[in-house]
Amino acid sequence: MELSVCLRSQYLWRFFLVPYEPVGDSSTKLKIRNIRKTYGEVVALERVHLDLQEGEFLTLLGPSGSGKTTMLMAIAGLNDPDEGEIWIDGKLATYLPPFRRDIGMVFQNYALFPHMSIFENIAFPLRMRKFNEAFIHKEVTRVLEMIQLPEVAGRMPSQLSGGQQQRIALARAFVYEPSIILMDEPLGALDKKLRDQMQLEIKHLHEKLKITLLYVTHDQEEAMVMSDRICLMNNARIEQLGTPDELYFKPATLFAADFLGESNFLPAKVSSVRESSTLHLKLSDGTSVQAPHRNNVQEGESVRLMVRPECIRILLDNENEVNTATATLKEVFMSGPVTKYYLELAGGKEIKATQLTKGPISSIQTGDSVKIGWSKERSVVFNS
Amino acid sequence: MTKNQTILFLLFRKLGQTWQLFPAFLFLGFFFVYPVVLLLSLSFLNSNGEITLEHYGRLATTPLYFKVLVITLKTAGWTTLLAVVGGYPVAYLLASVRHSTRNSLLIWVLMPFWTSFLVRTFAWIVLLGRNGAVNDLLQVLGIIDRPLKIIYNFTGVLIGMTHALMPLAVLTMLSVMLNINANLPKAASTLGARGGQVFWRIFFPLSLPGVAAGGLLVFITSIGFFITPALLGGMRDTMIVQVIIFQIHEVLNWKFAGAVSMLLLLTVLLIFYFYDRLLGLSTLSGEAQQSSAKSNRLTMLGSQIGTRLITYIAWFCEKTAEFYEWFFPLRPDSPQRKFSQKVLWVTGLFIISFLALPTFFIIPVSFTEEGFLSWPPKGFSLQWYEQIFSSLHWFEAIGRSFLVASCSSLLGMFIGVPAAFFLIRKSIPGKTLIFAFLISPMILPHIIIAVAIFFLFANLSLVGTTFGLVLGHTVLAIPFVVVTVMAVIKNYNEHFDQAAWTLGATRLKTLIHITFPLIRPGLIAAFMFAFIISLDELTIALFITGGEVTTLPKQMWDDAIMRVSPLLAAVASLLLVFMSGFILLSEFLRRRGVQVK
């Protein structure tokens, strides 16, 4: 608590009672240090660190049971961590009750209060903060217009559609301008089309209002579309933290590469590390390929080469690429905008390639031998 | 086939689809509807068989009956208030703990539900008497100098009835509370609401349908009580059911008894009517979160006052919490001690022990050397147990009770299970009405059913026969079987049956090999439920037994009317031990059933 607040309020004497009111730097909206949480024997979060900057949209992404919801609940104050510290807006908040944290939360099934009208639902946080009636009315009307549902104020939550309820839940979290807004799979209950639309709407609201947003989802596409940064979680730990581009094109771990998008893993041996920018590899069938340089590999080491299916091209006779290989076409599937090719390399290793569908008939047939190629930059090498 | 034949054929086919209801309709029609209608219509006849209102005239002009009605309503009202107010913290505690903790606490809450009415009442006599355990304890602690008078008066009746009916209130409220989305209180707290605000503004309003439903059930049930007021009350605490019993047993005035029954029935219907007008009967199902009552001026006013009241209470709670925090500020660096949680646990456990413990006081008393109930019991002797085991009288009563309970619950199963299947599986218009009809023996005050059956059986010479008792108890068993089995079938996945059919099993074989094995725990539970209901039944037994043919509760009642002796305490202890074993067994069977799944 700031000194000025202490002096002008009735909390003056508490100043003497509480000698320890830790204050950190306030440029970081949320600072998580060393948080650990167990449920009995099960470790739900294992010493996690995370920083969230002002105005940032960060997504916690991961399979179910990876600890992302546990982390969100700890930040909201809905569960107590066993160890570690949580700093919100430069103030220590690890064990503060939720109502003292100045956070907003949007729940998976919206958690609109069924016995209150839409107006009262949105007014609830303002009433809890003891604003006067005129201000409450003004603010509720403002956010209802912001989400383009000004006419529903008098209705009950059960009278609204799923998408409308979703917007009301957003409005309720936005109306009191909390310092961080947490969202726990808020679009999980909507159908695909509505979900796509709401993704953009939330993103636009975030850009317009410049709020700090922490979002939880297990849908990788959703995470890619919306986030400034993604925090990929697995087994109670942070697997990788970075922009969607970094996660997709430069996955740090096998799990990250496998979880996001589709991937081909090819076993290979390092043949040369001498060049400063290029790593020379040999696939199991003897084909020589190149990949970007990495530090922690030695010559002769067995590694795994990862290439995304959409980065593999089926080459025409007159085309060439840095890395090429010969493969037999096993199966072809046309799934609308893209066509998927299932190929087999000379060594028997299966490999997938995805191309944009250009026309109704593919020029190559099952059983044909084709030349495939991919660039050096789109190759990622993992220690196996 | 001619056109008429086709129509007949279709009609038979339609009827054929409802065959599952036939046993229930036939049985209840003959042993429930017919006698009740007979009894009520009797009240409009004079001694010459002409239509008259003279019995109602007598009812209206005698101040005594009006007074009895007022006492009945007053007793029921206070019981309801105490059961709901005391039961709420228990239900709230049960709703907020983990699943396994809830199950183990529930056994203790249900303790009085499972132990016999008479056993419980005897236990209160031991506890509340002039030299009873409560007075003894208070005097030892020096809180009082002279024994309090807490038995054979209104206080005694209220204690006994609240104890008996609070589990009903707890269960009803709990089922509503468990349906409240657990995210709502969490959402409220992230939006800035403190514990007290969360409870009063979010949880409490959403749990109100449960409070109302629980209150209604307790009120309706307590109107039909007579054991507790007769044994724990004084002369001035006579309730309306006791008037009916007096009219039959002492003066054998059927027609006037019919008129009093009509008064009782009208009172119950009136209460249902007002409940429906104010809150909507759909809240009784425990699922509706919003009141379905038509809004009128009264409900509007009520909800406005209610909202205002809740706002003030919430405000008061918040101020209290803020005051508390002045002295013990919230520390962000260490987990908080949840003060309100502690208060809830202490209150909840205190009320649960009020529900669970009293019954056990019956056991030490049964080993006394003295010839009367006293606290603390003097010496140790097995004389009362010897007396029971050497008396043919008690043995016969126990034997008959078990025979009647087994037969009536079996018969109830044969009649109730098909009806339950019908109600879940078939969809026809008026299903709710059929359901209401099938469970009406549970809701209608049992005294009306008992007197009506007595009248019918007197004409059929079935009074004083074991067969008559079985028939009477089956009427009461059917609703319990229907409700329990319906709950089980509702959770049964019908795809199993469909899979069996596609694999070539006939309907009968599917039932035998697939459906019944899977719902067996539920069937066993239904049987045990009906068994215990019959074993503890006194109202019908009060009239249908006669001479040598008697049941255990009836025998205990007859003795208790004279004097509650240590012998009765010994009988009650045996019954308590048996019932506890029975419930543990059923719990064991249920758990095993769950494991199979």
**How far is residue B220's CA from residue B80's CA, in Å, rounded to a whole number?**
9
- Which residues in A lie closer than 8 A to residue B190 (C-beta atoms)? 76-78, 98-99, 101, 103-105, 182
Report the pLDDT value the prediction gives residue B80, as an integer from 0 to 100: 96
Kindly tell me if the per-residue pLDDT of A220 is higher than 70: yes
C-alpha distance from B544 to closest chain A C-alpha (Å)? 50
Chain B: residue nearest A109 by CA?
A: B183
The DSSP symbol for A213 reads E
- Which residues in A lie closer than 8 A to residue B204 (C-beta atoms)? none
Report the pLDDT value the prediction gives residue B286, as an integer from 0 to 100: 45
- Which residues in A lie closer than 8 A to residue B184 (C-beta atoms)? 111, 113-114
C-alpha distance from A233 to closest chain B C-alpha (Å)? 24
Of A64-68, A96-100, B243-247, B331-335, least confident by mean pLDDT is B331-335
**How far is residue B334's CA from residue B28's CA, in Å, rounded to a whole number?**
64
Mutation site for B-interface testing, chosen from A128, A139, A143 by largest number of B Cβ within 10 Å: A128
**How far is residue B559's CA from residue B549's CA, in Å, rounded to a whole number?**
15
Structure tokens at A296: 């922690």
**Per-residue pLDDT tens for B24-35?**
999 999 999 999
Report the pLDDT value the prediction gives residue B295, as an integer from 0 to 100: 57
Report the pLDDT value the prediction gives residue B145, as an integer from 0 to 100: 84
**Per-residue pLDDT tens for B551-577?**
999 989 988 888 778 888 888 898 888
Q: Which residues have a Cβ under 8 Å from the Cβ of B68 and sit 6 or more positions away?
A: B238, B239, B240, B242, B243
Question: Of the candidates A99, A113, A172, which has its C-beta nearest B189's C-beta?
Answer: A99
**How far is residue A168's CA from residue A157's CA, in Å, rounded to a whole number?**
9
Which residue type occupies B527?
F
- Which residues in A lie closer than 8 A to residue B289 (C-beta atoms)? 114-115
Structure tokens at A178: 């909390």
Measured in whole angstroms, the distance separating CA A305 from the mean position of its chain's CA atoms is 25
Report the pLDDT value the prediction gives residue B262, as an integer from 0 to 100: 92
Which residue type occupies A367?
G
**Preceding omega of B376 cis (within 30 degrees of 0):** yes
B241: helix, coil or strand?
helix
**Per-residue pLDDT tens for B123-172?**
898 888 888 888 888 888 888 888 888 888 899 999 999 999 999 999 99
The DSSP symbol for B72 reads H
**How far is residue A246's CA from residue A260's CA, in Å, rounded to a whole number?**
11
In DSSP notation, B371-405 reads SS--SSPPS---HHHHHHHH-HHHHHHHHHHHHHH
**Per-residue pLDDT tens for B79-114?**
999 999 999 999 999 999 988 889 888 888 887 777
| B197 in A contact zone (CB under 8 Å) | yes
Kindly tell me if the per-residue pLDDT of A279 is higher than 80: yes
Average pLDDT of the residues in B480-506 = 87
**Per-residue pLDDT tens for A90-100?**
888 888 888 88
Higher pLDDT, B323 or A53: A53
Averaged pLDDT score across all residues of chain A: 87
> Residue B38 in contact with residue B452, Cβ under 8 Å?
yes
Report the pLDDT value the prediction gives residue B235, as an integer from 0 to 100: 81
| B189 in A contact zone (CB under 8 Å) | yes
**How far is residue A233's CA from residue A247's CA, in Å, rounded to a whole number?**
12
Kindly tell me if the per-residue pLDDT of A11 is higher than 70: no
Burial (CB < 10 A; 0-12, 13-18, 19+), residue A157, is: buried
Question: Of the candidates A109, A129, A182, which has its C-beta nearest B192's C-beta?
Answer: A129
The DSSP symbol for B144 reads -
C-alpha distance from A96 to closest chain B C-alpha (Å)? 5
The strand pair at A288-292 and A278-283 is best described as: antiparallel
| B330 in A contact zone (CB under 8 Å) | yes
Crossing angle (nearest 10°) for helices B552-562 and B117-128:
30
**Per-residue pLDDT tens for A326-370?**
899 999 888 888 989 999 988 788 999 998 888 776 677 888 888
Mutation site for A-interface testing, chosen from B98, B191, B326, B338 by largest number of A Cβ within 10 Å: B191
Question: Of the candidates A98, A111, A156, which has its C-beta nearest B184's C-beta?
Answer: A111
Q: Dihedral sign, CA of B155, B224, B362, B587?
A: negative
Cα→Cα distances A102→A99, A106, A125, A239, Å? 7, 14, 10, 29
Which residue type occupies B79?
T
B192:A78 CB<8 A: no
Backbone angles phi, psi at A94, to 5 degrees: -50, -50
**How far is residue B65's CA from residue B59's CA, in Å, rounded to a whole number?**
6
Report the pLDDT value the prediction gives residue B137, as an integer from 0 to 100: 87
> Residue B147 in contact with residue B135, Cβ under 8 Å?
yes
Give percent of chain B with pLDDT exceeding 90.
31
**How far is residue B118's CA from residue B101's CA, in Å, rounded to a whole number?**
30
C-alpha distance from B85 to closest chain A C-alpha (Å)? 22
Backbone angles phi, psi at A306, to 5 degrees: -110, 130
Based on its alpha-carbon atoms, the radius of gyration of chain A, rounded to whole angstroms, reads 26
**Per-residue pLDDT tens for A140-184?**
999 999 888 999 999 999 999 988 999 999 999 999 989 899 999
Average pLDDT of the residues in B468-492 = 91
Q: Could you tell me which of B206, B200, B261 has the C-alpha nearest to residue B447?
A: B261
Q: Which of A49-63, B133-147, B380-394 has the highest mean pLDDT?
A: A49-63
Report the pLDDT value the prediction gives residue B284, as an integer from 0 to 100: 57
- Which residues in B lie closer than 8 A to residue A158 (C-beta atoms)? 290
Report the pLDDT value the prediction gives residue B312, as an integer from 0 to 100: 86
Mutation site for B-interface testing, chosen from A86, A91, A115 by largest number of B Cβ within 10 Å: A115
Average pLDDT of the residues in B43-52 = 83
Structure tokens at A333: 């599937």
pLDDT confidence tier of residue A231, bands split at 50, 70 and 90: very high
End-to-end CA distance of chain A: 51
Kindly tell me if the per-residue pLDDT of B329 is higher than 80: no
> Residue B419 in contact with residue B474, Cβ under 8 Å?
no
